[in-house]
């Protein structure tokens, strides 16, 4: 009888672990799709193809919701880290689209993500805003450069107020430090370009005035 009971318990545990394994594998595949759709959405934003970016963001959202549903009975796997990572990429794509396309910034409630996930995703938009600023600089759009730099500073100003342990913020402090470096480097690049543009404008003005005086 004891052997039968042990075999029955073993069968139950094996089936439980098999279900858990299937859920994990399914959620991992979905999480990879979330990351892929989010990365493609960001690339579309930088091409200014906002309609395509929005479609890709919605695909990322759908896959994220599906992954969460798959793990609804397995909270230990849900909190293993890979759901947080792909959700962070989804937040980054959503916020990058909103900021560059001049749309309202989505909230954590809009995206149905945890506060720490949202903050880390928002932090990484600073890097995308730098890329957008440099693209705008090459196009000679100094006004858009200034807007991007202001947004980067505003995001950083929010991030540095989140003075909580890393276990609460999922590594936000380290992420914030990295974004500060990006912000400072971008501010220096923009200042140099702005001064050069002003100097060039003065030289052109001087040259035109000299031609008129001849």
pTM of the predicted protein model:
0.88
In CATH terms, the fold of domain 114-214 is: Methane Monooxygenase Hydroxylase; Chain G, domain 1 (1.20.58)
> pLDDT tens-digit profile of 1-28?
578 888 888 889 999 999 999 999 999 9
Residue 197, pLDDT above cutoff 80: no
In CATH terms, the fold of domain 12-102 is: Methane Monooxygenase Hydroxylase; Chain G, domain 1 (1.20.58)
> pLDDT tens-digit profile of 136-184?
999 989 999 999 999 999 999 999 999 999 889 999 999 999 999 999 9
> pLDDT tens-digit profile of 30-53?
999 999 999 999 999 999 999 999
Give the list of residues 6+ apart from residue 141 with CB closer than 8 angstroms, or none. none
Q: Looking at residue 204, what is its pLDDT?
A: 67
CA 176, CA 182: separation in Å to the nearest integer?
Answer: 10
% of residues, the chain, pLDDT over 70: 94
Burial class (CB in 10 A: 0-12, 13-18, 19+), 109: exposed
Q: 109 versus 79: which is more confidently predicted?
A: 109
- Same fold for the pair 12-102 and 114-214: yes
Q: Looking at residue 90, what is its pLDDT?
A: 98
% of residues, the chain, pLDDT over 90: 78
Q: Looking at residue 141, what is its pLDDT?
A: 94
Do residues 117 and 88 make contact, with C-beta atoms less than 8 angstroms apart? Answer: yes
Q: 111 versus 78: which is more confidently predicted?
A: 111
Q: Looking at residue 11, what is its pLDDT?
A: 84
* Angle at CA of residue 177, ends 176 and 180, nearest 5°: 85
Q: Looking at residue 201, what is its pLDDT?
A: 64
> pLDDT tens-digit profile of 55-82?
999 999 999 999 999 998 899 998 888 9
Domain range annotation of the chain: 12-102, 114-214
Q: Looking at residue 2, what is its pLDDT?
A: 79
């Amino acid at each position: 009888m004891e052997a039968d009971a042990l075999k029955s318990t073993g069968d139950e545990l094996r089936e439980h672990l098999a279900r858990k394994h299937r859920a994990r594998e399914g959620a991992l595949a979905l999480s990879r799709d979330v990351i892929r759709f989010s990365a493609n959405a960001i690339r579309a934003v930088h091409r200014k193809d906002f309609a395509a970016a929005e479609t890709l963001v919605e695909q990322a959202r759908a896959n994220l919701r599906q992954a969460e549903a798959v793990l609804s009975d397995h909270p230990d796997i849900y909190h293993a880290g890979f759901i947080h990572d792909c959700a962070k990429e989804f937040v980054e794509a959503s916020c990058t689209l909103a900021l560059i396309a001049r749309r309202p910034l989505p909230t954590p409630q809009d995206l149905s993500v945890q506060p720490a996930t949202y903050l880390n995703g928002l932090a990484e938009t600073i890097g995308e805003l730098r890329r957008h600023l440099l693209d705008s600089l090459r196009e000679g759009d100094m006004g858009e450069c200034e807007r991007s730099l202001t947004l980067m500073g505003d995001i950083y100003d929010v991030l540095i107020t989140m003075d909580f342990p890393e276990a609460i913020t999922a590594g936000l402090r380290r992420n914030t430090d990295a974004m500060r470096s990006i912000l400072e480097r971008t501010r220096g690049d923009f200042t140099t370009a702005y001064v050069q543009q002003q100097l060039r404008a003065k030289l052109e003005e001087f040259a035109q005035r000299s031609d008129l005086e001849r």
